[in-house]
């Protein structure tokens, strides 16, 4: 397992009060809100063209090409996924669970004028047909800062579920 503590910058060096970090967190919260609202077209627009969105099976993994993942989307796969989630043919998406997620426990790991990397926790509750499913995971974000906040884009989001190596439900929504 990746030991988060070993990769953190020294205490006091980076702060969530840094305006660049605040912009990154605002983007992350915006993304979370759009996913809960299932506004997938607006969601897709938050990603850079070279951005990747990954839900690995191996929680230790940092490269994903040579292993099996639950999700490993580049721009092409992401746009097909958005079509799938919105066009009305996918019965899992049509009858998807209602979700509410919280993203918090932010720790910035690198901050420059161009890019902010964050570690965070995400707790999501999905409700469907009388059942609540819990999805918990660590999330790594890399946000590329644009000329203004409206131009900030996600270049990397990796959701490491605590039960990634176990059996999770099949989902009609995105993490």
Partner 1 sequence: MTTLHGPIDGAFDAATVNDLEPADLVLPDRVAGRMYTDPGIFEQEMSRIFERTWVWVAHESELPKAGSFKTTTVGRQPVIVARDRKGNINTMLNRCRHRGASVCEQRTGHANGFTCPYHAWSYGLDGKLRGLPYPDGYEGVMDKSGVALQRLRTESYGGMVFATFADEDELEPLEDFLGDVKLWIDRFMKQGGGYPIKVLGTHQFRFKGNWKIQLENTTDGYHFPIVHRSWMASVDAETAEMMSFMTDPAATTHDLGNGHSVMEMVPEHSDLDVDDGTEPLQERFADLVEALGAQGLDSGSVRRLVRAMHGTGFNLNLFPNVSMSISFLRVLRPISADETVIEHVALGPDGPPEIVDPVNRERLRIHEHFQGPFGFGTPDDAEGWDRVQRGAAAAPEMPIMVNRGLGREEPSPEGWPTSHVTDETGMRAAYGMWKRMMSDD
> Rounded to whole angstroms, how far apart are CA atoms 38 and 127?
14
Q: Identify residues 119-158 at the interface with partner 1 (CB under 8 A).
A: 129, 131
Q: Is the CB of 4 or the CB of 77 nearer to partner 1?
A: 77
Phi–psi pair at 166, nearest 5 degrees: -105, -165
Report 38-67 residues binding partner 1 (CB under 8 A).
Answer: 55, 57, 65-67
Sheet holding 98-111, edge to edge: 69-73, 47-56, 153-161, 131-144, 115-128, 98-111
- 95 forms part of the interface with partner 1 (CB under 8 A): yes
Binding of residue 29 to partner 1 (CB under 8 A): no
Asked if 82 touches partner 1 (CB under 8 A), the answer is: no
> 31 burial class (0-12, 13-18, 19+ CB within 10 angstroms)?
buried
Closest separation in Å from C-beta 89 to partner 1: 4
Please give the residue ranges that form the binding site for partner 1 (CB under 8 A).
55, 57, 65-72, 77, 80-81, 83-84, 87, 89-93, 95, 129, 131, 165-172, 174-175
């Amino acid at each position: 397992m990746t030991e988060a503590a070993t990769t953190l910058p020294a205490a006091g060096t980076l702060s969530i009060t840094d305006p660049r970090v605040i912009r990154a967190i605002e983007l992350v919260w915006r993304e979370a809100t759009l996913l809960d609202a299932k506004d997938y077209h607006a969601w897709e627009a938050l990603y850079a063209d070279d951005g990747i969105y990954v839900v690995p099976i191996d929680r230790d993994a940092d490269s994903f090409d040579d292993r099996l993942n639950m999700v490993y989307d580049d721009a092409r796969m992401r746009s097909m996924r958005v079509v799938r989630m919105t066009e009305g043919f996918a019965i899992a998406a049509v009858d998807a669970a209602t979700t509410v997620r919280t993203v918090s426990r932010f720790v910035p790991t690198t901050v420059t004028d161009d890019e902010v990397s964050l570690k965070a926790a995400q707790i999501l509750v999905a409700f469907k047909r009388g059942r609540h499913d819990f999805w918990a995971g660590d999330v790594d974000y890399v946000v590329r800062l644009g000329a203004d906040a409206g131009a900030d884009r996600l270049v990397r989001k990796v959701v490491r579920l605590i039960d990634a190596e176990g059996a999770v439900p099949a989902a009609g929504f995105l993490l």
